[in-house]
Structure 1
Amino acid sequence: MKLRILTSAMCAVLALPVSAESVTFSQAWQMVQSDNNGLAASQANVSRYQNLQAGKKSLNLPRSP
């Protein structure tokens, strides 16, 4: 009797409609970029060093050979 109830329950669960929204690669990549803290930290680090380089150029110091 338990096996029959279990089988009926499993069939009912598996028969539920599964709805998954299709996502394009560019949409998925956009979601990864917006939700990944590691990528955000790396981008912030790149921006920091770009700003340091720009600041160094603004000092008008002589260039090293």
Structure 2
Amino acid sequence: QLGYVVRRPDPTDRRAKLITLTRKGQACITAGIATIDGIEQQLTDRLGERGHRQLRSLLTKLLDDDGA
């Protein structure tokens, strides 16, 4: 409905649908990656490489522990 993906019949399996990104969807992904890269750079600028790595490690641990 929002135009980010399109659903098409699978030519090899009539029961299945193939979902692919549209140009709008790909542009959204590209913009998101650029935003994340900018945030990562800001963190590195403030914390330094080592501090940034430590922060990522701690956040990953929190996410991993949340599922336990």
Question: If the length of structure 1 is used for normalisation, what is the TM-score?
Answer: 0.47
Query: Quick one: higher RCO (CA 8 Å, sep 6+), 1 or 2?
Result: 2
Q: Compare CA radii of gyration and give the structure with the larger one.
A: 1
